[in-house]
């Protein structure tokens, strides 16, 4: 579902509205809705439990594609925008599952735990071209051609929701978790105090900054590929290889993050993203764009896994959802601004160079900040002790 939203979100909006100048609005709506949803969802996950909130995210992921399909079938643009908004909210909320995974492991194994969850996305990269590629083969896309793919996309989050129904927590774990939350709630720090904690801003820049740059470029790459004269079906190849770069090696990345050190992984990942973005200025073939997007995904993987692991380690149990939500909020809003600006620049210049150079500069600034910031890697979580009755 996410792959379809990323690959053809811009094409869908242009097809429904008939205006190429608004191509950046599709990704912006997708990203802003995720930003607005993730902060309250993160806080709710601290109180209601992670899996309850994740289930809600999957249900939004079912409703989003259906609403977008309705917009394409009727030509009503607000329906299409609303559907993309629900898809973006679903994406952001379901990603909170990484926090739950990290909490299940000891601090020194949390990068590995997070990578196991993210590895599941590889299967989406495989299914995307197999399912959606043939639907667009040899077609000049109209709004009618977009209805069926969007309806099919809604089946994937439905399957995800069914899977979450089999997630169970033993009663004794619920009791222990509730007791831990009550004790920790009394010591809960404000968000400003959390951000001021040593090492957290660095981790937020790495995790949030890498997502900002990656999402901004990824959401516009489909339209850029079509602008180079490539078929719509080829867009799924480019996006699929990008997603493989993001998640295909994540199990190895999880181990390397702990071996190399999280600061090195964060800075190195952002630097890799900068080089990959810069290469988009010259590489305009399907193969060339795929290589650039693979490097962008791989760099994001290092920076995001290392940064997210640090955030979990440096926050207490009832602080994590709020902190991760705030990070995702700022990153998604930044990515939305980048997508709108990049879309306007592309429509004016008909060249990917301004978009690529802007993304390169942002990634470089992030790498410099992470490399120069003070503080050692977090080695253990700052979890409050639990007092037993």
Contact indicator for 206, 269 with CB cutoff of 8 Å: yes
Supply the pLDDT for residue 172: 42
Residue 211 included in any domain: yes
Cα(311)–Cα(307) distance, integer angstroms: 6
Contact indicator for 262, 202 with CB cutoff of 8 Å: no
Residue with the bigger pLDDT between 40 and 86: it is: 86
Supply the pLDDT for residue 177: 52
Average pLDDT estimate for 215-230:
73
Contact indicator for 28, 107 with CB cutoff of 8 Å: no
Average pLDDT estimate for 238-252:
82
Neighbours of 249 (CB within 10 A): 18
Residue 380 included in any domain: no
How many independent structural domains does the chain possess? 1
Residue 173 pLDDT class (50, 70, 90 cuts): very low
Length of the chain counted residue by residue: 389
Residue 66 included in any domain: yes
Supply the pLDDT for residue 228: 65
Residue-by-residue DSSP string for 181-206: HHHHHTTPPPHHHHHHSTTHHHHHHH
Instruction: Give the domain extent around 235.
Output: 2-372
Which value, in Å, is the radius of gyration of the alpha carbons in the chain?
A: 20
Residue 379 included in any domain: no
Average pLDDT estimate for 232-260:
80
Supply the pLDDT for residue 383: 43
Residue 385 included in any domain: no
Instruction: Judge if pTM exceeds 0.75.
Output: no
- Tokens 């939305």 -> residue: 336
Supply the pLDDT for residue 374: 62
Each residue's pLDDT tens digit, 39-64: 788 778 777 778 888 999 999 999 99
Looking at residue 160, which CATH number applies to its domain?
A: 1.20.1250.20
Residue 4 has pLDDT above 60, yes or no: yes
Cα(202)–Cα(375) distance, integer angstroms: 9
Q: Is 299 left (phi over 0), alpha (psi -120 to 50) or beta?
A: alpha
Question: At CB < 8 A and 24+ separation, what contacts does 229-235 make?
Answer: 230/286, 231/136, 231/137, 231/138, 232/8, 232/11, 232/136, 232/139, 232/141, 233/133, 233/134, 233/136, 233/137, 233/138, 234/286, 235/7, 235/8
Residue 246 included in any domain: yes
Residue 288 has pLDDT above 70, yes or no: yes
Supply the pLDDT for residue 330: 83
Residue 55 included in any domain: yes
Q: What is the DSSP letter of 1?
A: -
Residue-by-residue DSSP string for 144-185: HHHHHHHHHHTHHHHHHHHHHTT----HHHHHHHHHHHHHHH
Residue 387 included in any domain: no
Supply the pLDDT for residue 175: 44
Residue 381 has pLDDT above 50, yes or no: no
Average pLDDT estimate for 287-310:
89
């Amino acid at each position: 579902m996410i792959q379809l939203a990323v690959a053809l979100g811009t094409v869908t909006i242009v097809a429904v509205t008939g205006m190429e100048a608004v191509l950046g609005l599709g990704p912006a709506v997708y990203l802003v809705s995720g930003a607005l949803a993730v902060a309250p969802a993160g806080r709710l996950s601290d109180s209601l439990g992670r899996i309850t909130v994740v289930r809600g995210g999957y249900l939004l992921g079912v409703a989003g594609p259906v609403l977008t399909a309705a917009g394409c079938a009727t030509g009503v643009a607000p329906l299409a925008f609303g559907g993309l908004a629900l898809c973006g909210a679903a994406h952001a909320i379901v990603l909170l599952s990484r926090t739950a995974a990290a909490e299940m492991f000891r601090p020194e194994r949390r990068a590995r735990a997070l990578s196991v969850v993210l590895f599941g996305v590889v299967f989406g990269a495989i299914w995307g071209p197999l399912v959606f590629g043939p639907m667009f083969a040899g077609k000049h896309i109209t709004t009618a051609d977009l209805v069926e793919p969007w309806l099919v996309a809604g089946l994937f989050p439905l399957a995800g929701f069914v899977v979450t129904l089999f997630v169970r927590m033993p009663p004794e774990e619920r009791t222990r978790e509730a007791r831990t939350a009550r004790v920790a709630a009394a010591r809960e720090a404000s968000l400003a105090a959390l951000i001021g904690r040593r090492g957290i801003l660095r981790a937020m820049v790495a995790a949030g900054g890498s997502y900002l740059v990656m999402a901004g470029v990824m959401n516009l790459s489909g339209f850029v590929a079509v602008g180079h004269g490539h078929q719509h079906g080829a867009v799924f190849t480019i996006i699929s290889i990008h997603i493989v770069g993001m998640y295909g090696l994540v199990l190895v990345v999880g181990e390397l993050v702990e071996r190399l050190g999280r600061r090195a992984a964060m800075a190195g990942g952002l630097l890799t993203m900068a080089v990959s973005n810069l290469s988009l200025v010259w590489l305009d073939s399907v193969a060339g764009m795929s290589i650039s997007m693979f490097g962008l995904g791989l760099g994001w993987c290092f920076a995001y896994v290392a940064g997210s692991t640090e955030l979990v380690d440096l926050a207490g149990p009832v602080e994590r959802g709020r902190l991760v939500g705030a990070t995702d909020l700022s990153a998604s809003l930044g990515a939305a601004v980048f997508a709108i600006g990049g879309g306007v620049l592309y429509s004016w210049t008909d060249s990917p160079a301004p978009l690529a150079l802007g993304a390169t500069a942002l990634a470089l600034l992030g790498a410099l900040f992470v490399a120069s910031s003070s503080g050692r890697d977090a080695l253990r979580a700052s979890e409050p002790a639990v007092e037993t009755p």
